[in-house]
């Protein structure tokens, strides 16, 4: 049983990694102004709980060059999601610490 769960989780990861590669390759246009000049700031992976099950999740943080919109792309949902208050500052801070 544990074995099956491990395989299932592995499959979820494989799908997520494939979606991450796709998200990196394709740059969506800005939802605020429609510009396609969007830079990637950081990518985060985490584990979230859905119906008591641990599911891997990943987000890409992006900034629009033209209107400076701060954007968060949910890779699992394949769409823009709202940033939590203070989330952006924390992402930028840790992204800048990387040499």
When asked if residue 35 is in the footprint of Zn ion (CB under 5 A), the reply is yes
DSSP-derived letter for residue 28 is P
Kindly indicate which of the ranges 4-12, 31-39, 73-81, 84-92 contains the residues binding Zn ion, using the contact rule CB under 5 A.
31-39
- Please give the backbone phi and psi of residue 71, each rounded to the nearest 5 degrees, phi first: -125, 145
SS3 content of the chain, % helix, strand, coil (to 5): 35, 35, 30
Which listed residue (12, 32, 44, 63) binds Zn ion by CB under 5 A? 32
When asked if residue 41 is in the footprint of Zn ion (CB under 5 A), the reply is no
When asked if residue 71 is in the footprint of Zn ion (CB under 5 A), the reply is no
């Amino acid at each position: 049983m544990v074995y099956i769960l491990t395989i299932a989780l592995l499959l979820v990861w494989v799908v997520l990694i494939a979606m991450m590669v796709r998200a990196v390759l394709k740059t969506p246009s800005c939802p605020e102004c429609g510009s396609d000049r969007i830079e990637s700031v950081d990518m985060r992976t985490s584990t979230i709980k859905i119906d008591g099950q641990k599911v891997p999740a990943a987000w890409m943080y992006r900034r629009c060059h033209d209107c400076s919109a701060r954007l968060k792309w949910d890779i699992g949902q394949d769409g823009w999601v709202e940033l939590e208050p203070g989330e952006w500052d924390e992402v930028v801070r840790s992204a800048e610490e990387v040499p």
